[in-house]
Amino acid sequence: MAENGEEKLIAVARHIAKTLGHTDTMTDDILKIFSSFDGRLREKLAEKLSDDGMEQILDAIDHQITQFISSDRPIWSAGADPGAFLDSVDQLIAAVRDWTPLADDKKISACLDRAEDLLQQSMFRLEEEFRTLVERGAESFDATQAESAHPHHPDFSDEDDDFGDEDENFIPVAQPITDYDIVIDALPLGTVGDLHQIAKRMVSAGYMKECAHAYSSCRRDFLEESFSRLGLQKLSIDDVHRMQWTQLEDEIEKWIKAMNVAFRILFPSERRLCDRVFLGLSSAADLSFMEVCRGSTIQLLNFADAVAIGSRAPERLFKVLDVYETVRDLIPEFDIIFSDQYCVSLRNEAVTIWKRLGEAIRGIFMELENLIRRDPAKEPVPGGRMHPITRYVMNYLRAACRARQTLEQVFEESAAGGGSNLDYRKGDDAALASSSSLGVQIAWIMELLESNLEAKSKIYRDPALCAVFMMNNGRYIVQKAKDNELGMLLGEDWIRKHAAKVRQYHVNYQRSSWSKVLGVLKAESSSMSPNETSKNLKEKLKLFNSYFEEIYKAQSSWVIFDDQLRDEVRSSITGALCPAYRNFLGRLQGASDIGKNTDRYIRYNVEEMEARISQLFAGGSNGRR
């Protein structure tokens, strides 16, 4: 009875172990638990296995498997029976699992060693078949693409078929993609099913990494070819830094297209394919996907990183903004695609580079500040024309502020993260105290520009020309700040304040240029005798003519670039000078000893005076915008 009871217990144990043998560890656990109850039970288990004819079982499995692995013909081919091979592999995997807990027994250990060796050979063959299926399936996919234009497949065909006949090594360039709602079915459905069956066996046997490597090595080739068709080169960080800027601009455009295609089409399609091939094998799917996409992702991120740590010359701002916005807009895709344990480091690297691009943008603005500070005040601009730095800075800021939303984000992130302290730039301006970080930055650059212009204005020896110079530059600044994003950042108060400065420069000009002229035209003292009055009027007229001709000669070569401002200044001169001159001529004609002989003394009548004034500030077209 006791002997019969032990046999029944062993049978139950074996049944439980085999039933649970489809999982990774439960078979071993059950056998260990049962065999640890009693040394006699363990001996009975080993004896029973020996009695069942382990060698005969292994010989049968070996015979079945060897027929397949020794054949040069693919197992997954017409006329072959891959199902029989997989069944034999299943039996072998189950045997290894059943025998492993009893490996202390010498007889069982010898059979186990042989079984594991056979299992390794089976896995090598499965890996080879797996790789062949992936490659053959991809080729089948390409052939199907050449024959039909499926709406769910992007067109990677070359633009002109004639070129294909001329050069067999020619890599066709992808057509522009505007719709990213595309899924690439890279392998036929039947192939995906076959791959899944192989993957299940390899993972079950402990060959997950080998299976993932076989899969990824084939799929990486597809991604590399796709990037080549998008015109993307494999560039190191040093390669990027050695490029001419115009060449780098072209590469950035290609990179932006490649990033969008990769993260909106290629990588999601690869993720979908991995999940189907490794259905129910999440770790294998995640590892395979990481190995497929890691190299391409690092290539793309390294390019962005090279841009971020490269030159911070101000002219690079706009392309760096393009790179920043591309990475920023794709961060949600990174979060979705690279969320697993193997890929999360890639997602974190993308965020790091995105932040680094933000630092680069802030660094470019600092370089713009330095450019303004370093612009020397050497030679005065002829004719008080607008200085080139004013045109450069204002057009630069106006263009930059078209990306206001992105720049706001860049500078707000810096302020929130303590990356830089903009408080010192706010100064005492209450309006700026409540401005955004970008508004403070822009206002600070404007302050630096004004200080630079004021230093340059001091080079002019003539205070009137100094005022014209500041008037020209101030007017241009106000004009460029009006009715756009730049003006919205600076605020209406700032614009009104600087428009008032321009008016003050106008007043300063008129005072320094025409005060002495108007002083000459003032009425004479009533205490003078008629002869003294006539003599004084003659001297004043002579002095007036000298002053006016001197001013006219100098200021006709001066420039006021803005038509409206030029007319305003001319009108103000005419309005102040001509009435005073007309009164003066009246007094001159009323003098007793001059009378009808005034033509001998008067060089300009009022109309001629107005005509001369209308010729001022037209020093040449170089002063125009």
CB-CB contact of 385 with 472 (8 Å):
yes
**pLDDT at residue 62, as a whole number:** 83
Residue 326: band (very low, low, confident or very high) from pLDDT cuts 50, 70, 90: very high
**pLDDT at residue 433, as a whole number:** 41
**pLDDT at residue 297, as a whole number:** 95
- Determine what percent of the chain is predicted with pLDDT higher than 90: 53
162 pLDDT more than 50:
no
pLDDT digits (tens, 9 = 90+) for 91-116: 889 888 887 787 777 777 888 888 88
The region of weakest confidence among 168-172, 463-467, 557-561 is: 168-172
- The more confidently predicted of residues 376 and 364 is 364
**pLDDT at residue 600, as a whole number:** 73
The region of weakest confidence among 28-42, 256-270, 366-380, 544-558 is: 28-42
212 pLDDT more than 90:
yes
Averaged pLDDT, 60-85:
85
385 pLDDT more than 90:
yes
Which residues are CB-neighbours of 600 under 8 A, at least 6 positions away? none
Residue 12: band (very low, low, confident or very high) from pLDDT cuts 50, 70, 90: very low
**pLDDT at residue 159, as a whole number:** 41
Residue 281: band (very low, low, confident or very high) from pLDDT cuts 50, 70, 90: very high
Residue 598: band (very low, low, confident or very high) from pLDDT cuts 50, 70, 90: low
pTM of the model: 0.78
Averaged pLDDT, 236-245:
92
Q: What is the CA radius of gyration of the chain?
A: 44
What is the residue-averaged pLDDT of the chain? 82
Averaged pLDDT, 532-557:
87
- Determine what percent of the chain is predicted with pLDDT higher than 70: 77
Residue 172: band (very low, low, confident or very high) from pLDDT cuts 50, 70, 90: very low
CB-CB contact of 357 with 320 (8 Å):
yes
- The more confidently predicted of residues 569 and 15 is 569
533 pLDDT more than 80:
no
User: How buried is residue 494: exposed, middle or buried, by Cβ count under 10 Å (0-12/13-18/19+)?
Assistant: buried
Residue 186: band (very low, low, confident or very high) from pLDDT cuts 50, 70, 90: confident
**pLDDT at residue 430, as a whole number:** 43
**pLDDT at residue 597, as a whole number:** 63
Averaged pLDDT, 353-371:
96
User: What is the distance between the alpha carbons of residues 336 and 347, in angstroms, rounded to a whole number?
Assistant: 9
DSSP string covering 536-604: HHHHHHHHHHHHHHHHHHHHTS-B---HHHHHHHHHHHHHHHHHHHHHHHHHHHT-TTTGGGGGGT-S-
User: What is the distance between the alpha carbons of residues 44 and 233, in angstroms, rounded to a whole number?
Assistant: 67
Residue 587: band (very low, low, confident or very high) from pLDDT cuts 50, 70, 90: confident
Q: Count each helix (H run) and each strand (E run) in the chain, helices first.
A: 25, 0
CB-CB contact of 537 with 587 (8 Å):
yes
